[in-house]
Amino acid sequence: MIDLERLARAQQSLVEAGRVLHGAGKVPATGGNFSVRLDDKHMAVTASGRHKGFLTPADIMVTDFACHPVGSTLKPSDEARLHGQLYEDFPEAEAILHTHSRPSTLLSLLTTGSEVVVTGYELQKALEGISTHEARVVIPVFDNTQDIAALAQVAHARLAGTESCAYLIRGHGIYTWARDMNACLRHVEALDFLFDCELEMRRHR
């Protein structure tokens, strides 16, 4: 049984996140997808094709982690399975945001290897689990594909046993997760700042 009060709070938090991220230019057109954990089997997730800057509660649906709709005829976001996999792999994750910001998209394309490493930045302490600028923050980079089920399994295998809080999909932006929506929004802002710094550093090397 879905807790309807919890669902209403989740829907409102996703609507508000959409407005914030659209205003910051991080989810152009209908790009991106968002979710909030409802319990140990279900999530509230944005429906497919919805512009994130103009979401209403009616655009937020319930699915299980395998993306089967619960009480809705809406279609979940095409990449909802990536959210479900993350909730299965990270029980502490309560919110997930996927954005198509320019820094995350460009850096993912300019990175030829399988990871982006940032270190030395004071702002990296804005990420959950990072307490010093001396930490080495590793952000995995996965190749883009339309086979979302396969990508979910690749991410599962790569992230198992790690304390990651984000990954990049090449040419497609970033996924980040956290203990609540406020922390997740902080991750988006901090990571985009760090990625922008890395892009600028590369210009001057």
CATH of the domain at 17: 3.40.225.10
CB atoms within 10 A of CB 204: 5
First to last CA, the chain: 56
Calpha distance 179→128 (Å, rounded): 8
Q: Which domain holds residue 139?
A: 4-203
Give the span between the Cα atoms of 202 and 65, in whole angstroms: 39
The two structure tokens encoding residue 15: 């609507």
Query: What is the count of structural domains for the chain?
Result: 1
What is residue 77's three-state secondary structure? Answer: coil
pLDDT for 39: 97
pLDDT (0 to 100) of residue 77: 87
Beta bridge partners of 64: 42
Give the per-residue pLDDT at 205: 79
The residue ranges of the chain whose pLDDT is under 50 are none
In terms of DSSP bridges, do strands 42-46 and 33-37 run parallel, antiparallel, or are they unpaired? antiparallel
| 66-115 tens-digit pLDDT | 999 999 999 998 899 999 999 999 999 999 999 999 999 999 999 999 99
Contact 33, 55 (CB under 8 A): no
**Nearest of 105, 108, 101, 137 to residue 122 by alpha carbon:** 137
- What CA–CA distances, in Å, run from 105 to 26, 140, 157, 160? 10, 13, 23, 24
Kindly state the tokens that stand for 37: 């954990």
| Tokens encoding 64 | 């299980």
- Contact by Cβ (8 Å): 83, 103: no
